[in-house]
Amino acid sequence: MQSHKIKIGTRGSPLALWQAHHVADLLANAEDLDPNDIAIEIIKTSGDQIQDKALREFGGKGLFTKEIEDALLAGDVDIAVHSMKDVQTVLPDGLSIPTILPRADVRDAFISHKAGTLAELSEGAVVGTSSLRRQAQVQRMRPDLEVVTYRGNVQTRLKKLEDGVVDATFLAAAGLKRLGYEEHITSYMETSDMLPAVAQGAIGIEVRADDRDMQDRLKPLNDEPTALAITAERAFLKALDGSCRTPIAALATLSGDRLDFSGMILKPDGSEAHELTSTGSPAEAIKIGTDAGIELLQRGGANFLETGA
């Protein structure tokens, strides 16, 4: 029997809270728990506190997870719920992510009141994004556009767009759909045009590595196809030593007994890009991602990604 409330650590943004409550509902249903047996603990992260500058200036990945992971290690919470694209490729000692939920829409959403698609934006239009990956891919396709740093949660970014701060922006389709904001999407960027961020659309549940009981309880929530895809993508990112300081994109998909992988590295201004596709066995997910990262590094040269710093 559960002797205490399960405490879920999360950021306080509307999307993070949606994700935490979603996990709480899944746990309650899986174990027939009273919803009151699960508590949501909001933890403010460094990434939440820095709102006026690009996160890459402050260390990139980890800024949305560090304080939550500290609370997990201290025993203040039992599990942590993350957007997997925010999670560093090397976890702190003593933590693991045994559970990945089924992945949502991986695409980026184009949002604008002035054009139906990126191609239809007028020359010199201003595009707002906090993502170097999106910036690089936009400038690769449309070097005539101006791209500016555009921080804030989903609601803040949509409000800035309404206020005319920018002419267009991009947000993850998964987040918009989860928040019920699908009507704001002007059009979707197909992955063949804009490759998504590593682990985009995936939610992970982090636990203490020695908490076998919680790991066992989370097993029914794990989606193996998503977990394999995320494993390959994160291995790719790790091989590149990537963070949000560097424009890196990847997508792995499971098709029966085949894992298909696409990866890309770019200069921040989109002036140069290297990409590849590969296929292998799902059991080789780590090798597929790692080999892809090594190959692209070789193609780009040792200093290719340093311009993102």
Could you give the residue numbers annotated as active site?
86
β-sheet bridge partners, residue 80? 9, 206
Continuous H helices in the chain: 14-31, 46-49, 66-73, 132-141, 154-162, 173-178, 212-218, 224-240, 285-300
Q: CB of 96 within 8 A of CB of 212?
A: no
| 32-to-35, 78, 304 alpha-carbon distances in Å | 9, 18, 52
What does the alpha-carbon distance between residue 7 and residue 268 come to, in Å, rounded to a whole number? Answer: 40
Residue tagged 């704001």 (tokens)? 184
- Strand, helix or coil at 99? strand
Indicate the pairing of strand 146-149 with strand 108-112.
unpaired
What does the alpha-carbon distance between residue 35 and residue 176 come to, in Å, rounded to a whole number? Answer: 26
